[in-house]
């Protein structure tokens, strides 16, 4: 993926001000920065859910700003997996259905979608029988990770994926996330407040005055 000279303002404030970011397939990047600096906004630009005022956004070899609304939605379903900051699961569906829905929307067969969803949830240690609304915060977050992975996306985005997890679970989720670029050749971008998670990324960045700068030489 590639962001070039991306600018985006909200309520008279320039949140993104010339963001440059290139992460090749098979590599990971982490983004840190204080609350409200624009980290989630940056991920929304990559998903095509908000349109920057200027600049280019390239995902899976496609300049997404050139796509129609319908083309953008299809491109997102096929190529992008997102772990949302607050999970965003549907409580009336089971955990497996919450994961399957992403692959069904991308056009996969039900049996195929179900078996991949169940395997991912088992790998992540989510109890099979529980209803989504009865899961703990950490278990919900792991379901959200499984949903983002189920389509083996070209671009995997994660917004604070370990925020609700204790030490051991945090390691398990981080292991799974950071193994995906190596195993599936996708690009991973993780927004985090956790320096130990950020340090696992190949490219470590932080926000500075609306841009991304390297965080590596500071550590
Ligand atoms: N539609 C909007 N109107 C006004 N302000 C907005 C709007 N959307 C976002 N903001 C503001 O933009 C800023 C950046 O929000 P964003 O969610 O990207 O922050 P963040 O870096 O992800 O923070 P956190 O670490 O708390 O998740 C915040 O101050 C937020 O209040
Ligand atoms: Mg955020």
44 CB under 6 A from ligand 1? no
What is the rounded CA–CA span in Å between residue 188 and residue 101?
Answer: 21
Q: Where are the domains of the chain?
A: 2-214
Q: Which ligand is nearest to the CA of 50?
A: 1
Task: Report the atom number in ligand 1 closest to the C-alpha of 193.
Answer: 25
Query: How far, in Å, is the centroid of ligand 1 from the Cα of 118?
Result: 34
Nearest CA to ligand 1 atom 26: 35
For the segment 149-192, what is each residue's pLDDT rounded down to a tens digit? 999 899 999 999 888 778 888 888 898 899 989 988 999 999 99
For the segment 47-95, what is each residue's pLDDT rounded down to a tens digit? 999 999 999 999 999 999 999 999 999 999 999 999 987 768 999 999 9
Residues in the chain: 219
Beta strand 80-83 with 203-208 is unpaired
Q: Which two tokens stand for residue 62?
A: 């496609």
Tell me the backbone φ, ψ of residue 137, rounded to 5 degrees: -55, -40
| C-alpha to C-alpha distances, 201 to 41, 185, 194, nearest whole angstrom | 20, 14, 12
| C-alpha to C-alpha distances, 101 to 27, 54, 110, nearest whole angstrom | 27, 33, 9
Q: Which CATH number applies to 2-214: 3.40.50.300, 3.30.200.20, 3.40.605.10, 3.40.50.920? A: 3.40.50.300
161 CB under 6 A from ligand 1? no
218 pLDDT above the threshold of 70: no
What is the rounded CA–CA span in Å between residue 24 and residue 79?
Answer: 15
Q: pTM value?
A: 0.92
For the segment 130-152, what is each residue's pLDDT rounded down to a tens digit? 899 999 888 888 899 899 999 98
9 CB under 6 A from ligand 1? no
């Amino acid at each position: 993926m590639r962001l070039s000279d991306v600018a985006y303002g909200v309520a008279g404030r320039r949140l993104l001000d010339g963001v440059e970011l290139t992460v090749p397939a098979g590599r990971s990047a982490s983004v840190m920065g204080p609350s409200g600096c624009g980290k989630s906004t940056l991920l929304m630009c990559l998903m095509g859910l908000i349109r920057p005022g200027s600049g280019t956004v390239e995902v899976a070899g496609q300049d997404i700003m050139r796509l129609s609304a319908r083309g953008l939605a299809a491109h997102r379903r096929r190529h992008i997996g997102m772990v949302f900051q607050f999970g965003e699961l549907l409580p009336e569906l089971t955990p497996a259905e919450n994961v399957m829905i992403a692959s069904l929307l991308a056009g996969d067969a039900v049996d195929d979608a179900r078996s991949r969803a169940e395997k991912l949830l088992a790998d992540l240690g989510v109890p099979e029988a529980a209803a989504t609304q009865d899961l703990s915060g950490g278990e919900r977050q792991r379901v959200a990770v499984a949903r983002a992975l189920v389509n083996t996306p070209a671009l995997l985005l994660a917004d604070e994926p370990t925020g609700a997890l204790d030490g051991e679970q945090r390691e398990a989720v981080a292991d799974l996330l950071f193994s995906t670029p190596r195993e599936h050749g996708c690009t991973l971008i993780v927004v985090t407040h956790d320096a130990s998670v950020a340090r696992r990324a190949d490219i470590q960045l932080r926000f500075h005055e609306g841009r991304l700068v390297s965080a590596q030489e500071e550590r």
